[in-house]
Amino acid sequence: MSHWIEKTNFYHIYPLGFCGCERLRSEAKELPEGRILKVIRWIPHLKKLNINAVYFGPVFESFEHGYDTTDYYTIDKRLGTNEDFKRVCNELHKNGIRVVLDGVFNHVGREHFAFKDVQMHGQGSQYKDWFSGMNFGGRSPYGDNFSYEGWNNCYNLVKLNLYNNNVVEHLLGAVKMWIQEWGIDGIRFDAADCLTEDFIKRIHRFTRELRPDFWLMGEIIHGQYNRWANPDMFDCVTNYQCYKGIYSSHNDRNYFEIAHSIEYQTGQYGNLYMYNFLDNHDVARLMSVLRNPAHAECCYTMMYCMYGVPSIYYGSEFGIYGAKGSGRDADLAIRPCLELDSIPDRNDALLQHISELGAIRLSSPAVQSGSYAKLELKNQTFLFKRELNGETVYVALNISDGDYTFRINTHYQKLADRLSGRQFNVNGGVAEVCVPQNKSMVLVDGSMAAPEPVKHEEIPVPAPTPAPAPTPAPVPAPQPEQPKNNGIRGLGVPNGRKIVIGGHYKHFKGGDYVVLNVAKDHETCEEQVVYMQIYGKPVVWVRPLNMFLEDIDDHGNVKPRFAFVQE
């Protein structure tokens, strides 16, 4: 683990949304100023939040959403130019804010030069071995005269063959350029569980040779995290287990859930640092998931004070809402364009709370990397402590129906809450601390002087050196005809599949729903499923039962139209 990550508060930006870019690159117009420069105007806001690292989602040339990379060496023209992004990185570094980029190395878009060369030259292409599952005896769902492997059966995302050294060298060349030209400090690896271990180990060695403190973080959703985060691979992984545990424990008013997750990870992974978050570019905003918005402050206190590095998804510090939808517009609400002077229904109290949490974390070694111990746990109240080198920090959370008094055994003579400024006397080694409903406290030694304001030190930017140029792209091949009906075809209901009233279902394009009942059409007596969207606005829908239960052919991938999740 790199030393600087322990003293870091992240801010996560999805640039194409943040900058209000067109849905497709082909729709973009030439702009006099790169949109990515907007980040510079947000730097005072980031410093107010005590942010000292920004993780950028995809910034490289792509056709649509950024995860369909066209060119690893060029900033997406919807965002600006390479020079524009260099200005952004330099300004962030001058203000003590590190830069981490999204590395989408498992797959590329269909407009990547190597794939278009295969479209043009077929088996004669020098790039035919750059892609997984290439078969010139079949046809792709897009009508190519060959078939190939798509990421998660999404054929607009062509899976790279990471066993091919030329592919790996092409990717390493890009990473070297990012480090040399922009001085980036780390990479977040998209779909990290789909990458080969050899590739991860190689890029680990490669980046450490360029920058000994370079940081690598993998997007891992399920499984044993230490399989991916270890001394030879990633420094850190996305903590989806505790992401779910935090909001769910508040929704169910059951702190046992998140306490179990923390204790499991402590016992299973030891000092493995996690990348902690409450929402991101793939999931609904926290405020759209919480049943009681008043629990948001406690959620953020938990995230900032548990082991690992915290991350704020842009705009969530204002308490904005955004539920994931379905179809082409599924992600629009969670990837909005925001302007600082016109945030809708901004929650300044939450903003201030997160700012104070950021200051606490940057000034407290115990919160950064201290040990964890549970002191008191009930369904709606939770007290734990973090300790390091004689410093003890007590974290108290209360989501009960009223004020709650914790009795805290402590060696300090007085306790002080860093969030509210309140102080509590200690009598006989015990402090009685009353925490208001839906509030939290971060309690420290009350006899100590107030901490100095957090300072953002300038981060040195390496002098740029020439980077290898990408392989020139050949003349583009004609675009294949798109599948009719968007490539979706109903296949009927599998034997034995039944509807579950009250069941939680996920649509194949995204979106979560609960089945309310099965009704009959008055005129035809056809059975209809009545179901409601779970997150966001509670919209109720009706669909024929057979259509709801059937399997579909989605560009060659057979899956349920609605997959049953749970009752």
For the cut 70, the answer to whether the pLDDT of residue 387 exceeds it is yes
H or E stretch covering 246:
helix 240-251
Look at residue 23 and give its three-state secondary structure: coil
In the numeric block, which tokens belong to residue 511? 């979106």
Are 197 and 233 contacting, i.e. CB atoms less than 8 angstroms apart?
yes
For the cut 70, the answer to whether the pLDDT of residue 1 exceeds it is no
Q: Report the pLDDT averaged over residues 459-470.
A: 53
> What integer pLDDT is reported at residue 468 of this predicted model?
46
Quickly list DSSP for 499-536.
--TT-EEEETTS-EEEEEEEEE-TTT--EEEEEEESSS
Neighbours of 561 (CB within 10 A): 20
| pTM score, whole prediction | 0.81
Tokens 């980031």 -> residue: 46
DSSP 17: H
For the cut 50, the answer to whether the pLDDT of residue 316 exceeds it is yes
> What integer pLDDT is reported at residue 462 of this predicted model?
54
302-317 burial by CB neighbour count: b if 16+ within 10 A, else e? bbbbbbbbbbbbbbbb
Q: Report the pLDDT averaged over residues 485-508.
A: 81
Separation between Cα atoms, residue 506 and residue 535, nearest integer Å: 12
Find all residues with CB under 8 Å of 205, minimum gap 6, and list them: none
Predicted confidence (pLDDT) per residue in 226-265, tens digit: 999 999 999 999 999 999 999 999 999 999 999 999 999 9
Separation between Cα atoms, residue 429 and residue 104, nearest integer Å: 53
Mean pLDDT, the chain, whole residue set: 91
Predicted confidence (pLDDT) per residue in 197-222, tens digit: 999 999 999 999 999 999 999 999 99
Separation between Cα atoms, residue 281 and residue 55, nearest integer Å: 12
DSSP 126: T
> What integer pLDDT is reported at residue 557 of this predicted model?
79
Separation between Cα atoms, residue 185 and residue 217, nearest integer Å: 11
pLDDT band at 482 (very low <50, low <70, confident <90, very high): very low
Separation between Cα atoms, residue 404 and residue 382, nearest integer Å: 10
For the cut 70, the answer to whether the pLDDT of residue 363 exceeds it is yes
DSSP 137: T
* Angle, CA 189 vertex, CA 119 and CA 367 arms, to 5°: 170
Separation between Cα atoms, residue 406 and residue 430, nearest integer Å: 10
Separation between Cα atoms, residue 510 and residue 241, nearest integer Å: 20
Q: Report the pLDDT averaged over residues 164-192.
A: 98
Q: Report the pLDDT averaged over residues 490-497.
A: 85
For the cut 80, the answer to whether the pLDDT of residue 407 exceeds it is yes
> What integer pLDDT is reported at residue 116 of this predicted model?
97
> What integer pLDDT is reported at residue 481 of this predicted model?
37
Separation between Cα atoms, residue 335 and residue 555, nearest integer Å: 26
Predicted confidence (pLDDT) per residue in 61-75, tens digit: 999 999 999 999 999
Taking CA atoms, 446 is separated from 56, 415, 433, in Å, by 39, 4, 13
Separation between Cα atoms, residue 357 and residue 420, nearest integer Å: 11
For the cut 60, the answer to whether the pLDDT of residue 518 exceeds it is yes
> What integer pLDDT is reported at residue 210 of this predicted model?
97
Taking CA atoms, 279 is separated from 252, 289, 308, in Å, by 18, 10, 16
Fold adopted by 239-446: Immunoglobulin-like (2.60.40)
> What integer pLDDT is reported at residue 567 of this predicted model?
66
Taking CA atoms, 113 is separated from 23, 118, 132, 439, in Å, by 21, 9, 16, 54
For the cut 80, the answer to whether the pLDDT of residue 465 exceeds it is no
Residue of 358, 318, 377, 351 whose CA lies nearest to 442: 358
Lowest-pLDDT range of 13-27, 257-271, 438-452? 438-452
pLDDT band at 537 (very low <50, low <70, confident <90, very high): low
Look at residue 38 and give its three-state secondary structure: helix
> What integer pLDDT is reported at residue 388 of this predicted model?
97
pLDDT band at 449 (very low <50, low <70, confident <90, very high): low
In the numeric block, which tokens belong to residue 353? 């709370």
Look at residue 278 and give its three-state secondary structure: coil
Residue of 513, 518, 516 whose CA lies nearest to 561: 513
| Residue 391: strand pairing partners | 388
> What integer pLDDT is reported at residue 460 of this predicted model?
67
> What integer pLDDT is reported at residue 475 of this predicted model?
38
* Percentage of the chain exceeding pLDDT 90: 77
Residue of 340, 460, 439 whose CA lies nearest to 49: 340
Fold adopted by 486-566: SH3 type barrels. (2.30.30)
* Residue 331, φ and ψ in degrees, nearest 5: -105, 0
Predicted confidence (pLDDT) per residue in 99-142, tens digit: 999 999 999 999 999 999 999 999 999 999 999 999 999 999 99
Residue of 26, 139, 132 whose CA lies nearest to 555: 139
Give me the amino acid identity at 276: N
Neighbours of 448 (CB within 10 A): 11
Q: Report the pLDDT averaged over residues 253-281.
A: 95
Domain 486-566 in the same topology as domain 239-446: no
First to last CA, the chain: 40
Residue of 73, 153, 230, 143 whose CA lies nearest to 481: 143
pLDDT band at 348 (very low <50, low <70, confident <90, very high): very high
Q: Report the pLDDT averaged over residues 288-300.
A: 98
Greatest Cα pair distance, the chain, in angstroms, is: 83
Separation between Cα atoms, residue 425 and residue 436, nearest integer Å: 18
Q: Report the pLDDT averaged over residues 331-342.
A: 95
Give me the amino acid identity at 275: Y
> What integer pLDDT is reported at residue 315 of this predicted model?
98
3-state SS, one letter per residue, for 431-479: EEEEECCCEEEEEEECCCCCCCCCCCCCCCCCCCCCCCCCCCCCCCCCC
In the numeric block, which tokens belong to residue 184? 């980036």
Are 497 and 549 contacting, i.e. CB atoms less than 8 angstroms apart?
yes
Neighbours of 478 (CB within 10 A): 8
> What integer pLDDT is reported at residue 461 of this predicted model?
59
Q: The dihedral of CA 399, 401, 407, 411: what is its sign?
A: positive
> What integer pLDDT is reported at residue 486 of this predicted model?
47
For the cut 70, the answer to whether the pLDDT of residue 406 exceeds it is yes
Q: Where are the domains of the chain?
A: 239-446, 486-566
